[in-house]
Amino acid sequence: MKWKNEGENSLFLFNLDEFEKLPDGIELESIVGDKKIKGKDEIDMDTRAGYIAWGIRSPETHKHADLFLIFLLRKNY
């Protein structure tokens, strides 16, 4: 889910199921700009409208873009 429409720099948030599928070592950014590493840092799993307050920017050019495409396809079917 796109957090704010900031063009190519928009932050995309994950739901709990998507978060569990993310590989350890991926850097996540919070809605307030903090950055943490999954599997290393403690990440608050509080949800709002089904999404955690953590995500990534530029999913289409991210090194895990293929995984994010799978997430998108699952939502549309």
The domain tally of the chain equals: 1
Q: Band of the pLDDT at 5, cuts 50, 70, 90?
A: confident
Q: Does any domain span residue 1?
A: no
Give pLDDT tens digits for 32-76: 999 999 999 999 998 989 999 999 998 888 898 898 888 878 765
pLDDT attached to residue 31 = 93
pLDDT attached to residue 30 = 95
The answer on pLDDT for 10 being more than 90 is no
Q: Does any domain span residue 2?
A: no
Residue 45: domain span: 7-75
As a whole number, mean pLDDT of residues 15-28 equals 95
Taken in order 67, 69, 71, 73, the sign of the CA dihedral is: negative
As a whole number, mean pLDDT of residues 12-26 equals 94
Show the tokens assigned to 70: 């799978």
